A = this chain, B = another copy of it.
């Protein structure tokens, strides 16, 4: 059985493990004060073309989201998210657990647009009987595989500025977004157009780790306190730093994401050539083919994946995820099996 369920079924890219062994006995200061962290942050600041950014390494996406959001919001403030957004749909009320409402907005493609923001602001206008929207949370790529174009992100960024809203981008799969064929942004664009964003390591080659980036030091002032308070400050911060250093110093991060996308697009082509359609217009490593149920059943004999959504009595959408670790042989086998059905 080959597993297409997610992009975290394997460990880490071998370069990372090699680097961990290589540096294993070099003594370092704890709690994020290690030399690898300093170096990794320098590399990242260069990539985003912002020498003033403040960068911290955290362990996972839910942790990053809840810490960033609860750190930046005051008690009466709320965050706007697509209903499909990870903080709304998949993180066990983690934001609410820190005291803040998530204003969930229905979208067609998992992406927020200025009109969504305007509607939310209108719905939450009756001060003080409703919460005060103060932040917009987006994911790129989204939870359903779509990506933002530069002009879309510019519009959203501008709308946020006008309305005094912080723009926070969840980049759990940012590599996959930036390596998509229809992408027209760079990492520096992302940094320029958001107030805070994070680069996900876990789903693109690291054992664990997300790099959260504040565009200005003012915004990040005192952030260390909440890292510690929320249990996110690893004694051996080197573990996170070494991985980001390895992923970014020679752009391994982008190579890995590109591979994942390429594998997914190979399957997309095969699905389309069989005449099947998709639930979402994904150009990244999560795809949602709509298949006849008997086809799904057959595929399930050799491949693990989620059945995502019932479409009609005879069809359902499945979710296939590829990753940096996906072996092309398995993709080819899957395609062959699909063709044969």
A residues within 8 Å of B by Cβ?
A: 2-3, 5-6, 8-12, 14, 17, 20-21, 23-30, 59-60, 62-67, 70-71, 74-76, 78, 89-94, 96-102, 127-132, 202-203, 207-208, 222, 224-236, 238-239, 325
Contact = CB atoms under 8 A, between A and B. Distances in A.
Given A60-B235, A222-B76, A239-B11, A230 B27 contact: no
B132 A97 contact: no
A231 B8 contact: no
B230 A230 contact: yes
Contacts of A10: 24-28
> Main SS of the interface on chain A?
loop
A10 to B, nearest CB: 5
Number of copies: 4
Contact of A235 (B8, B66, B99, B128): B8
Contacts of A74: 71, 74, 222
B94 A228 contact: yes
A255 to B, nearest CB: 18
A129 B9 contact: no
B62 A59 contact: no
